[in-house]
C-alpha cells in the first residue's frame, strides 16, 4: 500500500463511504443528501480521520454544482429566462437585501461591530444552490410556483456574490491610498467581467454550435462527451479568472445551448458526472464541519445558527406570501432558502483575508453555515412528517363530514384516478352512488366539475353506516393506500357481510391480501391498461388484428388462471418461483401452437 497513489486511496474511501452510508440513509427515510453529509463527517478530520485535505476536495467537488447549473440552463430557453427577469432581479434582490439588512440589524443590536455585522449579514443571506436545487429535483418542484421562485432567487444570489466580494477590500483595514487604488482596480475588474460575459454570449451564438456539429460528425461518442465537459470546464475557468461564479457561467452556457439540437445529447453526457461530483461536494461539506469550533464556542454556534435560520425563515416566508406561492408549498421553499450557502464559505474566507474580521470569526461563521447545511435536510424530514400533513388542507374551505344518512345502492370509497372512472361509468348509467374521500383538495376540485363527493374517512365504521353501508348492495374499495384498503375490507366483512365488495389492488401482494379476506372481485389497477399497451406494440410489429387480439386474450386467461393457482403458495417463495416458471413455459408453448395454426 505504501506505493499506492493518494488519489486512488481517497477515491476508494469516498466511494466506500457513499456506497455504505447513502443507501442506509435512504432506507431510514432521511434522503441522499443527509447520507452524503454523514459520510463526509465519518471519514473527515473529526470522524475517522481518513481524509484531511478538505479544502482541496471541496474546491474540486464544487464542479458538481457547476455541472448542475449547466443542466438547469439547458432546460431554460433564452425566451423563458427573459420572462423570469422580474422574479430574478425583483424577488431575488428583495430576498438578499431584506435578509442581509435584518441579520445586520440584529447583529449590530447585540454589540457586534458594524463591518463584521454587515459582512456576516450579506454572507448568511445567501443560500445553498446545491442542496436547494437537488431537493427541488427530487421532489419534482422545479416547474411549480415555489420551484420557479426558489430558482429565481438562487440565480440572483449567484449574481449578488460578485458585488459582495468586490465590497470586501473597501471594508478591510487598508490605508486611504491603497483604498483608492483598490477602487480603480475594481472598476477595471468590472469592465473585464462585462467583456467576458459578452464574449461568452457572442461566442456561444457564433462558435459553439458549429464546433459541436463538427465534433458530432466524427461519430465518436467519447469525444462528444469530452467536448461537453471541456465546454463546461472552459467557461467555468474563464468565469473564475475574472472573479465570477463558476456556476453562473455554466448556467449561462446552458441557456445559450438550450435551443440547440444537441441539448439532449449534452444532458445525457453531463448528467452522470454531475451526480457523482455533487455527491462528492456534499461529502466535502460534511468533512468541512469544524467540530473544534463547535466544541470551543458551543453557545455562540447555537445562537448564530438558530438566529440566522429563524430570521431568514420569517423574511422568506413573508416574501413567499407576497409572491403568491401556494400555501402548501411555502414551508419547503422557506427552509430551502433559509440555510446557509456554499458561496458564504468564499465570502467569509475572503473577508478574513481582507482583514474585515479575524480568522476565528471567519471559522465560526463558516462552521455555522456548514451546520445549517447539515441540519436543513433533517429539518426537511421533520417538516414532511409533522408540518406538511397539516398544511395539506390549509387554504382549502373546511369540509364537513358526511352527516345525513344516504341510501344509494353503491358506495365508492376513494375518488382518485381509479375511483373516478368507476363512479363516472355508474353515474352515466343512471346508477346513484355515494362517494367518500378524505382528501379535501381533491373533493374541492371534484365539486368544481359538478361531482357530488362526501368528505369522510371510509375506515371509520360510523361514517360507513351514515353512507348507507347497511342497505347498499355493492362497495367499490378504490383507495390507493394498501393499509386503508384492507382496513375498509375488514370492517365491511365484519359489520356488513351482505355487502358485495369490488376492490382495487395496487400490486400482487395487495391482490393476495384481498383474496385472503375472501374478496373475489379484485382488479389489479395496471393490468388491463398494460395489456392494451402490449396490443398496441403487436399492432406496430405488423401482427394481424385478430392475431394480436388472440395473443392478448390467451395471455389474460393464462395470467388470471395462474394467479388463482399461485394464491395458496404466495408466502412460499420457492414454490412460487417454481409455479411461475412452469406457467411461463406453458404459456410460451400454447402461443407457439397458436402461431402454427
Q: What is the mean pLDDT of the chain?
A: 80
- 319 by Cβ neighbours in 10 Å (0-12 / 13-18 / 19+) ranks as buried
Q: Could you tell me which residue, 318 or 358, shows the higher pLDDT?
A: 318
- Among residues 531, 536, 537, the alpha carbon closest in space to that of 553 is found at 531
Can you read off the three cell numbers belonging to residue 583? 406457467
Using a pLDDT cut of 90, give the percent of the chain over it. 15
DSSP per-residue string spanning 435-461: EEE--HHHHHHHHHTT---EE--TT-H
pLDDT at 567 over 90: no
- Residue 572 C-beta-side C-alpha neighbours within 13 Å: 11
Position with higher pLDDT, 464 vs 18:
464
Cα atoms in the 13 Å half-sphere on the side-chain side of 399: 23
In the chain, which segments carry CATH 3.40.50.720? 410-596
Residue 442 CB burial class (10 angstroms; 0-12, 13-18, ≥19)? middle
Taken as a whole, the chain contains a residue count of: 597
Reduced to 3 states (helix: H, G, I; strand: E, B; else coil), residue 522 is: strand
Question: For residue 121, what is its C-alpha cell?
Answer: 449579514
Given a cut of 80, whether residue 594 has pLDDT beyond it is: no
* Sequence ranges of the chain with CATH classification 1.20.1530.20: 53-384
Is the per-residue pLDDT at 212 higher than 90? no
Contact status, residue 171 vs residue 115, Cβ threshold 8 Å: yes
Span 461-504, pLDDT tens digits:
888 999 999 999 999 999 988 889 999 999 999 999 999 999 99
% of the chain residues with pLDDT over 70: 88
CATH classification (class only), 410-596: alpha beta
Which pLDDT belongs to residue 503? 94
Q: How many CB atoms lie within 10 A of CB 477?
A: 26
144-192 tens-digit pLDDT? 778 888 888 888 887 787 678 767 777 765 444 444 455 445 556 667 6
Backbone angles phi, psi at 70, to 5 degrees: -65, -45
Please give the C-alpha separations between residue 240 and each of 183, 197, 218, 235, 282, in angstroms, as whole numbers. 20, 12, 31, 9, 21
Pairwise CA distance, residues 139 & 259, whole Å: 26
Least confident among 106-115, 314-323, 376-385, 415-424: 376-385
> What are the tens digits of pLDDT across the range 325-348?
877 788 888 888 998 887 787 788
* Measured distance CA(40)–CA(53) in Å, rounded: 12
Give me the CATH code for the 53-384 domain, please.
Answer: 1.20.1530.20
Instruction: Report residue 173: phi and psi, to 5°.
Output: -80, 75
Q: How confident is the model at residue 4 (pLDDT cuts 50, 70, 90)?
A: low
412 forms bridges with which residues in the sheet?
435, 476
Q: Where is pLDDT greater, at 17 or 78? A: 17
Q: Which helix (H) or strand (E) holds 503?
A: strand 500-505
Tell me what pLDDT residue 505 has. Answer: 92
- Say if residue 74's pLDDT is above 50: yes
Amino acid at each position: 500500500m505504501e506505493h499506492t497513489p493518494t488519489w486512488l486511496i481517497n477515491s476508494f474511501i469516498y466511494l466506500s463511504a457513499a456506497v455504505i452510508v447513502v443507501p442506509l440513509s435512504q432506507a431510514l427515510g432521511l434522503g441522499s443528501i443527509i447520507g452524503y453529509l454523514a459520510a463526509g463527517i465519518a471519514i473527515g478530520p473529526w470522524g475517522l480521520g481518513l481524509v484531511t485535505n478538505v479544502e482541496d476536495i471541496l474546491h474540486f467537488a464544487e464542479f458538481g454544482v457547476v455541472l448542475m447549473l449547466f443542466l438547469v440552463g439547458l432546460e431554460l430557453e433564452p425566451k423563458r429566462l427573459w420572462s423570469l427577469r422580474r422574479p430574478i432581479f425583483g424577488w431575488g434582490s428583495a430576498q438578499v437585501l431584506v435578509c442581509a439588512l435584518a441579520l445586520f440589524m440584529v447583529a449590530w443590536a447585540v454589540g457586534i461591530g458594524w463591518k463584521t455585522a454587515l459582512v456576516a449579514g450579506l454572507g448568511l443571506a445567501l443560500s445553498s444552490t446545491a442542496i436547494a436545487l437537488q431537493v427541488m429535483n427530487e421532489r419534482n418542484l422545479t416547474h411549480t410556483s415555489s420551484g420557479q421562485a426558489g430558482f429565481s432567487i438562487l440565480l440572483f444570489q449567484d449574481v449578488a456574490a460578485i458585488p459582495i466580494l468586490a465590497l470586501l477590500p473597501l471594508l478591510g483595514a487598508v490605508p486611504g491610498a491603497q483604498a483608492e487604488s483598490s477602487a480603480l482596480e475594481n472598476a477595471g475588474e468590472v469592465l473585464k467581467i462585462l467583456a467576458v460575459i459578452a464574449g461568452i454570449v457572442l461566442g456561444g451564438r457564433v462558435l459553439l454550435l458549429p464546433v459541436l456539429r463538427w465534433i458530432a460528425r466524427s461519430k465518436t461518442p467519447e469525444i462528444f462527451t469530452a467536448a461537453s465537459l471541456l465546454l463546461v470546464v472552459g467557461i467555468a475557468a474563464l468565469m473564475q479568472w475574472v472573479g465570477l461564479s463558476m456556476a453562473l457561467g455554466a448556467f449561462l452556457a446552458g441557456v445559450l445551448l438550450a435551443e440547440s439540437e444537441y441539448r439532449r445529447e449534452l444532458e445525457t453526457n453531463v448528467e452522470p458526472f454531475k451526480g457523482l461530483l455533487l455527491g462528492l461536494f456534499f461529502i466535502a461539506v460534511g468533512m468541512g464541519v469544524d467540530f473544534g469550533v463547535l466544541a470551543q464556542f458551543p453557545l455562540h454556534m447555537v445562537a448564530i445558527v438558530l438566529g440566522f435560520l429563524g430570521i431568514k425563515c420569517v423574511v422568506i416566508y413573508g416574501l413567499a406570501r407576497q409572491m403568491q406561492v401556494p400555501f402548501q408549498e411555502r414551508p419547503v421553499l422557506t427552509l430551502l432558502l433559509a440555510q446557509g450557502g456554499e458561496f458564504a464559505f468564499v465570502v467569509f474566507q475572503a473577508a478574513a483575508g481582507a482583514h474585515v474580521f479575524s480568522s476565528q470569526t471567519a471559522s465560526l461563521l463558516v462552521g455555522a453555515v456548514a451546520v445549517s447545511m447539515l441540519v436543513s435536510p433533517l429539518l426537511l424530514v421533520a417538516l414532511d412528517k409533522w408540518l406538511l400533513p397539516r398544511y395539506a388542507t390549509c387554504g382549502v374551505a373546511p369540509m364537513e363530514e358526511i352527516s345525513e344518512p344516504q341510501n344509494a345502492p353503491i358506495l365508492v370509497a376513494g375518488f382518485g384516478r381509479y375511483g373516478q372512472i368507476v363512479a363516472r361509468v355508474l353515474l352515466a348509467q343512471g346508477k346513484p352512488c355515494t362517494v367518500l374521500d378524505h382528501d379535501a383538495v381533491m373533493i374541492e376540485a371534484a365539486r368544481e366539475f359538478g361531482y357530488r363527493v362526501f368528505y369522510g374517512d371510509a375506515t371509520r365504521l360510523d361514517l360507513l353506516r351514515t353512507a348507507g353501508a347497511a342497505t347498499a348492495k355493492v362497495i367499490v374499495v378504490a383507495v390507493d393506500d394498501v393499509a386503508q384498503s384492507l382496513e375498509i375490507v375488514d370492517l365491511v366483512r365484519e359489520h356488513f357481510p351482505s355487502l358485495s365488495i369490488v376492490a382495487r389492488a395496487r400490486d400482487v401482494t395487495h391482490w393476495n391480501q384481498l383474496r385472503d379476506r375472501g374478496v373475489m372481485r379484485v382488479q389489479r389497477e395496471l393490468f388491463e391498461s398494460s395489456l392494451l399497451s402490449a396490443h398496441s406494440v403487436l399492432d406496430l410489429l405488423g401482427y394481424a388484428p385478430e392475431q394480436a387480439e388472440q395473443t392478448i386474450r390467451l395471455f389474460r386467461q393464462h395470467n388470471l388462471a395462474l394467479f388463482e393457482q399461485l394464491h395458496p403458495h404466495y408466502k412460499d417463495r420457492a414454490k412460487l418461483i417454481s409455479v411461475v416458471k412452469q406457467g411461463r413455459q406453458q404459456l410460451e408453448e400454447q402461443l407457439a401452437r397458436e402461431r402454427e395454426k
